[in-house]
Structure 1
């Protein structure tokens, strides 16, 4: 990569981060390109060189966020063989990213609040991930008897997504505490008695920390984060 291309890449990433910060603070409707360019200390013309308009910029923030979240979830998924612990670890990993990474948080909120036709939202991929893990737990006998995976999946999606939207302004420790409390209350009704004592509602700390850190540095193919059709490749 030549010097000019490297500079263009750095400029584009700076604009994305500035856009994410403004979207996170103002919301999509109130955010202005002039505010984003001023925040990045660049001209509006420079912004238009990289992005056609505000919608193009927001879409790019969403795609970047989905890539970050997908990579992190994949690491958590691959490093843990127990489906229910994997479910807990993934939720903690995503929550930590939403807590401290403004691009991940802004893109997640835009994706949730600003749907566009023909594009599957991250929440749908999260739903599919949870359902696969619960189905796998049922196959392995680690899911409590009489549990119905479909309504349970909807309940977990609603709870974790709602908490994810409310994360803004919380520290990583507060976020981890909130999700730990959720799983402390939820796991006893979810896990079979013989496996419950082996599960950590606080998440596997080393794994979560590694997934959060590494997620920004791994290669990412956007198509892999786009939908449930890639289930064989990963959790989302």
Structure 2
């Protein structure tokens, strides 16, 4: 029984991974179930055992992406060896890495800009990262890294818009843009507009104290 359950889990994971590749490449409407099956090496019967429809499969990809966003946010928020703004940099850097290399997160980005999934923006990865960003902004104010008159909501909205804009530029101009450096640039501009002089002086001397590492992301489904 345990062996059958493990085989079923692996089959389901393979189908989700193949679906993420297909959705990320073709979008939802043009995605082919046949290509998903070919990529997963699963049978049609196995696919319909796990998923009722293409929409059900797309939502499984979205759920997998949300779990990755949630795990990333929780892991960074528990860091006690770093100041809040360094934690924020590490988390944002990880998001850039995932958008560049994680097919599940790439597929989520492609799916939520399609009409069938607009409403998922409200509950997706961006909402999780937004909540974590606001938490870190509040911590940064309490620890004297952001000014006492800074607005955590304004900080979060402005940063989210800046990061989304940088990601959009990848689609407009194609390859050659380093998303990690663009995310870092946007983050620095927003922070420096609200940072205390003391933090700014230390930052200009020491730079960022945390970054993400690709080998630590665990990019399997």
Structure 2-normalised TM-score? 0.81
Structure 1, 192-201 or 94-103: larger mean CA deviation: 192-201
Alpha-carbon distance, 1:69 to partner? 1.9
Report the Cα offset of residue 126 of structure 1: 2.2
Matches within 5 A, 1:139-178: 139-144=142-147, 146-164=149-167, 174-178=178-182
Aligned residues of 1:84 and 1:134 also touching (Cα < 8 A): yes
Partner secondary structure for residue 42 of structure 1: coil
Per-residue deviation, 1:124: 2.2
Please list every run of 5 or more consecutive structure 1 residues that lacks an aligned counterpart in the other structure: 218-236
Cα deviation per residue 1:150-190 (whole Å; 9 max; x = unaligned)? 2222111112234345557768x923222222234333213
Moved over 6 A (4+): none
Partner of 1:34: 34
Output one character per residue of 1:173-231: Cα deviation in whole Å (capped at 9) or x when no partner.
Answer: 923222222234333213111012434765613xx227x725568xxxxxxxxxxxxxx
**Which structure 2 residues correspond to residues 1-236 of structure 1 after superposition, within 5 A?**
2-79=2-79, 80-111=81-112, 113=114, 114-116=117-119, 120-144=123-147, 146-164=149-167, 174-199=178-203, 204-205=210-211, 208-209=212-213, 213-214=216-217
The 2-side partners of 1:165 and 1:68 are apart by 21
CA drift of 1:97 comes to 1.4
Structure 2 unaligned segments of length 5 or more: list them. none
Q: CA RMSD in A?
A: 2.9
> Structure 2: how far apart are the matches of 1:213 and 1:13?
20
Instruction: Name the CA shift for 1:197/1:106 in 2 (closer, same or farther; >3 Å).
Output: farther
Question: SS state of the match for residue 198, structure 1?
Answer: helix
**TM-score normalised by L of structure 1:** 0.77
Count of residues paired in the alignment: 213
Please report how far the alpha carbon of residue 116 of structure 1 lies from its aligned counterpart in structure 2 after TM superposition.
4.2
Distance 1:201 1:153 in 2: 22
Q: CA deviation at 1:123?
A: 2.0
1:28 deviation in Å?
1.1
Contact 2:65–2:105 (Cα < 8 Å) also in 1: yes
Query: Is the CA contact 2:130–2:156 (under 8 Å) kept in the aligned structure 1?
Result: yes
